[in-house]
Structure 1
Amino acid sequence: MLTKDRVTKISARWNDSTVHQDLGFWAEFFELVGSSPFLMGEGEGRDGAKPFRATFDWLIKPSNFVKVVEGNYHA
C-alpha cells in the first residue's frame, strides 16, 4: 500500500541520484535484497528471537537504503 509517508520516501530515494532514476536500478536493488539471506529472514535470530527480515519501509529508509546499495548485507 502506498501511504503518503512511503511516497515521500520513495520520491526522496529516486531523487537522491540520477542513477536511482532508472527502473533497471530498482530491479537490481530488489534482486540484491532477494539474494541476501539476512535481509530475507533466512538465518538465526539473536538469543532465540525470530530472524530479522527487511520490510519495505526498512529498505527505503535513507540509512538502510545506502547500506543495501553498498552491499553491506552480502558477505
Structure 2
Amino acid sequence: GAGQFGSGTVSGQAAQPGPPGSQFVLSNSAAIRAEIQRFESVHPNIYAIYDLIERIDDLALQNQIREHVISIEGE
C-alpha cells in the first residue's frame, strides 16, 4: 500500500553523503576516457577498411561490407 513509499532502505541509500556518488563520477569519467582511447585506436583501422572496400570490384559486396563497418563504427 501507500506505506511502501516511505521504506527506510530507499531513503537510507539516498541520504548517504558524497563519497559513493563521487566514486561513481570518477569511475564514469575513467570509463569515458577509456572509450575515447579505444575509439581513437580503432578509427585508423576503420579508415583502412574503407580504403580496402574501394578495391573490391563487386559493388554489392562493397555495400554489404560497408554497412557492417558502419554498424561497427556506431557501437
TM-score by length of 1: 0.33
**Hey, which of these two has a bigger chunk of helix by percent?**
2
Bigger relative contact order, structure 1 or 2 (CA pairs below 8 A, ≥6 apart): 1
Structure possessing the higher radius of gyration over alpha carbons = 2
Q: TM-score, normalised by structure 2?
A: 0.33
